[in-house]
């Protein structure tokens, strides 16, 4: 349940930030939302939370929504190092960043497809659908996010 | 320690003594004769926990690329730049022509087939705790991997570290196969975890601070350390303040499987390759490592 609360918190935060018209705040809120979705997936995987297709559906939809929106919040100049961990490579090599976004979107679309109208039927089906999407987190961060 | 330092000084003064003390010594003939025939399937698990690909494959290699061990990565340290050699199955440029005994001498004693000392940038100070049978299995697995042509350039080390013979003294002072921590009898999972972490997994090489001689300070085992390469610190993975005492064993296992921290951020830096190796080992072994990390003495993160 804790995971669900975080997820809903994340979703609310996203909406609030959109209103603020601040690309750094928006993209960070989108990522916090991703973090909350990954937390929910992890709670299921670690058996801290009993699986239900509704949870699977919520996780996959949240990840997929971020995948659609995320690339739109990196205008030139939104790289103030005091505020963002976005790597300068995003602007130096936009084609490579776009490729990472495309892969993330494609994996999210495949997961949505697999999840169907009601969400993946059981934990195993959920894991199979969501794990490829979650693989994008680490690989994109490795290439396009600065360490602290 | 005093006694050892005294030894070092005497050794430095007496050239002949130096020569004797620093003579590279491989395993005893009886130990070499006792090496079993290796099994490649078991050796694959040793390969992943040993993390060979993190250094000997290309930087950030993924998937099958991790099996191409052509070397060439540069490890920047205080002693200078180490260029990781080719250990692919190529008989001329790699180690395709090596015997099991050659690999055992390299990993368990830090001695090359032609009788030179290796630098401990090759983490044999941890591998020395490995079972010879695991090295034999690893040899068999490495023989199934692709040959990669080309030799890596030489190391570029600061004076006097380019002088390999001096490593004999370092080994005399610091190389030991004793356990890093004494945990008493805590059951099979913790012992298995201890073997994996302190031996092949060489986790201490990054997570433990070093003493004046560049050897791991076991009194602060796994308490976190400055990164050997570049900036930043490697985290404390004991239960002390600043460590991972608030992670459950399930959190640790899930982290090894997926790279997600309990706060659901993803792993970064040099741990990415380690985590991707840990995702390849048996589930029980990940659980054993978690059990061991829960059992090691807690230390607060030392002040830098």
Domain boundary assignment for chain B: 27-174, 188-295
Helix (H, G, I), strand (E, B) or coil at B304: coil
Average pLDDT, chain B: 92
CB spacing of B260 vs A145 below 8 angstroms: no
List of residues 6+ apart from B249 with CB closer than 8 A: B287, B290, B291, B294
Cα separation, B258 vs B28, whole angstroms: 42
Cα separation, A131 vs A41, whole angstroms: 9
CB spacing of A38 vs B264 below 8 angstroms: yes
Smallest Cβ distance to A42: which of B60, B254, B267?
A: B254
CB spacing of B259 vs A39 below 8 angstroms: no
Cα separation, A130 vs A57, whole angstroms: 10
| Greater model confidence, B20 or B200 | B200
Confidence of residue A12 (pLDDT cuts 50, 70, 90): very low
Interface of A with B in 112-131 (CB under 8 A): 131
The predicted pLDDT at position A17 comes to 47
B258 interface with A at CB cutoff 8 Å: yes
Tokens of B143: 């023989």
Smallest Cβ distance to B265: which of A35, A45, A47?
A: A35
Name the least confident of A47-61, B13-27, B110-124.
Answer: B13-27
With beta carbons less than 8 A apart as the criterion, state whether B122 and B128 touch: no
Per DSSP, helices labelled H in B34-99 are 40-50, 52-56
- What CATH number did the domain enclosing A38 receive? 1.20.120.10
Chain A nearest C-alpha distance from B86 (Å) = 25
**Nearest residue to A94 (alpha-carbon basis) of A74, A65, A68, A77:** A74
Chain B nearest C-alpha distance from A77 (Å) = 25
pTM metric for this prediction: 0.90
Interface of B with A in 172-191 (CB under 8 A): none
The predicted pLDDT at position B269 comes to 84
Whether the pLDDT of residue B230 is over 70: the answer is no
Q: Which residues of B touch A45 (CB under 8 A)?
A: 254, 258
Confidence of residue A2 (pLDDT cuts 50, 70, 90): very low
- Which residue is closest to A36 within chain B, CA to CA? B264
Confidence of residue A1 (pLDDT cuts 50, 70, 90): very low
- Which residue is closest to B259 within chain A, CA to CA? A138
Helix (H, G, I), strand (E, B) or coil at B225: strand
CB spacing of B260 vs A142 below 8 angstroms: no
Give the burial string for B226-240 (b: 16+ CB within 10 Å, else e). Answer: eebeeeeebbbbbbb
For chain B, strand residue ranges (E) read 74-77, 80-83, 156-157, 225-226, 233-234
Smallest Cβ distance to A42: which of B232, B260, B268?
A: B260
Q: What are phi and psi for residue B260, nearest 5 degrees?
A: -90, 130
CB spacing of B250 vs A36 below 8 angstroms: no
The predicted pLDDT at position B174 comes to 94
Chain A nearest C-alpha distance from B264 (Å) = 5
Number of domains in chain A: 1
B247 interface with A at CB cutoff 8 Å: no
Cα separation, B253 vs A42, whole angstroms: 11
B249 interface with A at CB cutoff 8 Å: no
Q: Which domain holds residue A135?
A: 2-144
Whether the pLDDT of residue B160 is over 90: the answer is no
Whether the pLDDT of residue B60 is over 50: the answer is yes
Cα separation, A43 vs A4, whole angstroms: 10
B265 interface with A at CB cutoff 8 Å: yes
Cα separation, A144 vs B58, whole angstroms: 19
B40-43 LR contacts (CB < 8 Å, sep 24+): B40/B137, B40/B140, B40/B141, B40/B143, B40/B144, B41/B141, B42/B134, B42/B137, B42/B141, B43/B134, B43/B136, B43/B137, B43/B138, B43/B139, B43/B140, B43/B141, B43/B142
Tokens of B172: 């005399």
* R_g over Cα of chain A: 15
Q: Which residues of B touch A47 (CB under 8 A)?
A: 250
Count of alpha carbons within 13 angstroms of residue A119, beta-carbon side: 16
pLDDT digits over A30-77, tens only? 999 999 999 999 999 999 999 999 999 999 999 999 999 999 999 999
Cα separation, A50 vs A131, whole angstroms: 18
Cα separation, B8 vs B172, whole angstroms: 9
């Amino acid at each position: 349940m804790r995971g669900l609360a975080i997820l809903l918190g994340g979703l609310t935060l996203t909406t609030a930030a959109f209103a603020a018209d601040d690309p750094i705040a928006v993209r960070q809120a989108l990522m916090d939302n991703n973090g909350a979705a990954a937390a929910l997936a992890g709670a299921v995987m670690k058996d801290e939370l009993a699986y239900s297709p509704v949870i699977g559906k919520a996780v996959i939809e949240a990840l997929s929504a971020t995948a659609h929106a995320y690339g739109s919040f990196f205008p030139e100049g939104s790289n103030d190092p005091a505020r963002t961990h976005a790597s300068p490579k995003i602007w130096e090599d936009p084609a490579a960043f776009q490729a990472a976004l495309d892969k993330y979107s494609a994996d999210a679309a495949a997961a949505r497809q697999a999840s169907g109208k009601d969400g993946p039927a059981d934990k195993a089906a959920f894991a199979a659908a969501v794990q490829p999407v979650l693989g994008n987190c680490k690989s994109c961060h490795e290439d396009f996010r600065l360490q602290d | 320690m005093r006694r050892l330092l005294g030894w070092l000084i005497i050794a430095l003064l007496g050239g002949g003594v130096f020569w004797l003390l620093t003579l590279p010594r491989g395993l005893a003939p009886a130990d070499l004769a006792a090496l079993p025939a290796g099994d490649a399937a078991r050796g694959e698990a040793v390969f992943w926990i040993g993390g060979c690909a993190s250094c000997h494959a290309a930087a950030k290699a993924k998937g099958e690329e991790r099996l191409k061990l052509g070397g060439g990565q540069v490890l920047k340290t205080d002693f200078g730049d180490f260029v990781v050699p080719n250990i692919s199955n190529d008989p001329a440029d790699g180690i395709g022509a090596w015997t099991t005994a050659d690999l055992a001498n390299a990993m368990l004693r830090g001695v090359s087939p032609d009788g030179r000392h290796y630098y401990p940038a090759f983490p044999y100070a941890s591998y020395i705790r490995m079972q010879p049978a695991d090295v034999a299995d690893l040899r068999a697995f490495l023989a199934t991997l692709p040959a990669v042509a080309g030799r890596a350039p030489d190391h570029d080390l600061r004076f006097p570290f380019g002088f390999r013979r001096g490593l004999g003294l370092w080994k005399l002072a610091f190389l030991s196969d004793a356990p890093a921590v004494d945990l008493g009898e805590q059951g099979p999972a913790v012992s298995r975890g201890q073997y994996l972490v302190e031996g092949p997994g060489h986790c201490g090489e990054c997570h433990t601070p070093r003493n004046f001689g560049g050897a791991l300070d076991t009194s602060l085992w796994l308490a976190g350390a400055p990164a050997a390469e570049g900036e930043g610190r490697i985290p404390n993975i004991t239960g002390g303040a600043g460590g991972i005492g608030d992670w459950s064993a399930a959190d640790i296992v899930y982290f090894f499987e997926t790279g997600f921290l309990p706060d659901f951020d993803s792993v970064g830096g040099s741990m990415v390759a380690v985590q991707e190796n840990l995702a390849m080992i048996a589930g029980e072994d990940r659980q054993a490592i978690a059990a061991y990390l829960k059992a090691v003495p807690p230390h607060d993160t030392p002040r830098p």
